[in-house]
């Protein structure tokens, strides 16, 4: 509902040529869209026991469909806005107003009251003691929360750092913007399309092994990006695909760890704080990456980011320690 109101405000600000209204409405719109990525937690929360990973994957695939369809609707929505006397670039916000309104209605009608999800008795789907279970239950639960958040924040920092500078790197070596756009499109697809398989793996083997594997995949992506010859678009694309897959493993594995470990009464707050950490990491990575490339070059950035990703492996390995 907040996102719908914000997008309607953007349209109103654009139509009235009021920059202050436009910017204020964008702030409201952005606050509302934060629910999009948080929806993966809701999917895991409402799924039957042992199917939380697959539910998370389903939500992320739905996000993929939206990410693919959205840019292709810029033209038609712009034409509709122009026909109504509204600036063309406000057209996508007409679509956002309708889409978020529909989403709010669906949630109010079909998820009210919220379906109850039975809590697992003693073990999480990954075979680990649930929060509060066992001799070190509370400690293990707290460590699971910290580990899950650490995995997601680290992967976000690594992925954004390299992804942000890759188009700059490619165009700086003579490749066109269309080529750079294709590489980024492949990267975004790799970030989200493997979600059903990643979710199934999370349910079968647990979030810990998935999160640990993400460190190795992100390392391979960073090394390939840094060592690939600038003339090779194919190798750069492969590197960005590996970074996308590694990010996907980290997101679903970290989500599983955090969701299973967080106490029920504070779970939503913890999940929201973890996503705030991801946003801050992404913003930091985007800013720092430019400074690193300016001072040391793109290969240094990519290799350093890949090595940093290895930090998730000891974080996962130590999460069960009572200390």
For the cut 70, the answer to whether the pLDDT of residue 166 exceeds it is: yes
pLDDT at position 49, please?
Answer: 81
pLDDT at 61: 85
Please, is 248 exposed, middle or buried when counting C-beta atoms within 10 Å of its C-beta (0-12, 13-18, 19+)? buried
Higher-scoring residue by pLDDT: 11, 178: 11
Minimum mean pLDDT range among 35-49, 239-253, 304-318? 35-49
pLDDT of residue 309 exceeding 90, the answer is yes
- Spatial contact of 187 and 170, defined as CB atoms under 8 Å apart: no
- Using the predicted structure, report yes or no on whether residue 103 has a pLDDT greater than 60: yes
Task: Please provide the average confidence, as pLDDT, over all residues in the chain.
Answer: 86
pLDDT computed for residue 53 by the predictor: 85
Residue 166 CA: distances (Å) to CA of 151, 157, 239, 279, 284? 23, 15, 10, 20, 16
Whether the pLDDT of residue 136 is over 50: the answer is no
Q: What is the pLDDT of residue 182?
A: 85
pLDDT score recorded for residue 117: 59
% residues pLDDT > 90 (the chain): 49
What separation, in Å, do the N-terminal and C-terminal C-alpha atoms of the chain show? 44
The residue assigned the tokens 């924040």 is: 153
> By C-alpha distance, which of 253, 248, 247, 236 is closest to 302?
236
Q: What is the pLDDT of residues 12-60, one digit of tens each?
A: 999 999 999 999 999 999 888 888 878 888 888 888 888 888 888 888 8
Return the minimum-mean-pLDDT range out of 111-115, 162-166, 304-308. Answer: 111-115
Of 132-136, 164-168, 199-203, give the lowest mean pLDDT range: 132-136
pLDDT at residue 118 above 60?
no
Residue 111 has pLDDT above 90, yes or no: no
Per-residue model confidence (pLDDT) at position 320: 56
Q: Which pLDDT score is estimated for 73?
A: 83
CB within 8 Å of 62: residues ≥ 6 apart: none
Question: Model confidence over 221-240: pLDDT tens digits?
Answer: 999 999 999 888 999 999 99
Quickly list DSSP for 245-259: HHHHHHHHHHHHHHH
For residues 248-266, average pLDDT:
89
pLDDT of 285: 92
132 pLDDT above the threshold of 50: no
Local confidence band at 134 (pLDDT 50, 70, 90 cut-offs)? very low
d(C-alpha 289, C-alpha 302), whole Å? 9
pLDDT given at position 130: 44
Cα(257)–Cα(105) distance, integer angstroms: 31
* Structure tokens given for 20: 């202050």
pLDDT at 133: 41
- The predicted structure's pLDDT at residue 124: 45
Which pLDDT score is estimated for 115?
Answer: 65
Between these two residues, 121 and 254, which has the higher pLDDT value?
254
Ordered domains of the chain (ranges, CATH): 2-110 (no CATH), 137-317 (1.20.1250.20)
């Amino acid at each position: 509902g907040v996102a719908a109101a914000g997008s309607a405000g953007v349209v109103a600000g654009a139509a009235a040529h009021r920059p202050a209204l436009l910017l204020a409405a964008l702030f409201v719109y952005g606050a509302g869209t934060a629910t999009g990525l948080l929806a993966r937690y809701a999917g895991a929360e409402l799924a039957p026991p042992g199917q939380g990973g697959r539910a998370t994957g389903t939500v992320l695939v739905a996000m993929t469909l939206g990410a693919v369809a959205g840019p292709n609707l810029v033209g038609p929505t712009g034409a509709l806005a122009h026909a109504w006397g509204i600036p063309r670039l406000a057209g996508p916000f007409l679509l956002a107003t309708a889409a978020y309104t529909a989403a709010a209605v669906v949630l109010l009608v079909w998820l009210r009251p919220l379906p109850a999800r039975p809590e697992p008795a003693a073990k999480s789907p990954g075979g680990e003691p649930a929060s509060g279970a066992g001799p070190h239950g509370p400690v293990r639960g707290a460590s699971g929360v910290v580990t899950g958040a650490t995995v997601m924040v680290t992967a976000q920092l690594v992925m954004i750092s390299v992804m942000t500078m890759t188009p700059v790197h490619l165009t700086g070596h003579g490749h066109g913007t269309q080529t750079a756009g294709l590489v980024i499109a492949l990267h975004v697809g790799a970030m989200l399309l493997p979600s059903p398989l990643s979710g199934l793996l999370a349910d079968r083997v647990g979030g810990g092994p998935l999160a640990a594997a993400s460190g190795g995949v992100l390392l391979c992506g960073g090394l390939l990006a840094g060592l690939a010859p600038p003339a090779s678009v194919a190798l750069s694309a492969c590197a960005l695909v590996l970074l996308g897959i590694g990010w996907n493993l980290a997101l679903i594995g970290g989500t599983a760890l955090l969701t299973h470990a967080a106490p029920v009464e504070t779970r939503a707050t913890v999940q929201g704080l973890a996503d705030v950490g991801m946003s801050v990491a992404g913003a930091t990575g985007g800013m720092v990456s430019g400074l690193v490339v300016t001072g040391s070059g793109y290969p240094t950035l990519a290799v350093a980011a890949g090595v940093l990703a290895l930090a998730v492996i000891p974080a996962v390995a130590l999460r069960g320690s009572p200390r």
